[in-house]
Amino acid sequence: MLATPSKKPSSPCTKLCVLDAVTGLCEGCGRTRDEIALWGSLSEVQRLAVMAALPERLRRAYPGREACAP
């Protein structure tokens, strides 16, 4: 029996991994340190829910900055 290759988890990572000391957010993707640490253990539904909130979170944290497309 052949094993089905596991799908890579969805990720908003932009490879700009800098945690902002003031906001506590990654400046690249907008996730918190805890979200980043737990990412691999979250279900796909949970990851998608977090990712849906990131654009607004980044807009609020960094008003006037162009959003980066993941």
Sequence-ordered alpha helix ranges (H) in 1-70: 33-38, 44-61
Q: Per-residue pLDDT tens for 16-42?
A: 999 999 999 999 999 999 999 999 999
- Model pLDDT, residue 61: 94
Q: Which residues contact 25 (CB under 8 A, 6 or more apart)?
A: 19, 31, 32, 57, 58, 61
**Residue 70's pLDDT band (cuts 50, 70, 90):** very low
Mean pLDDT for the chain? 88
How many Å apart are CA 11 and CA 68, to the nearest integer? 14
Domain ranges of the chain: 21-61
Q: Is the pLDDT of residue 46 over 70?
A: yes
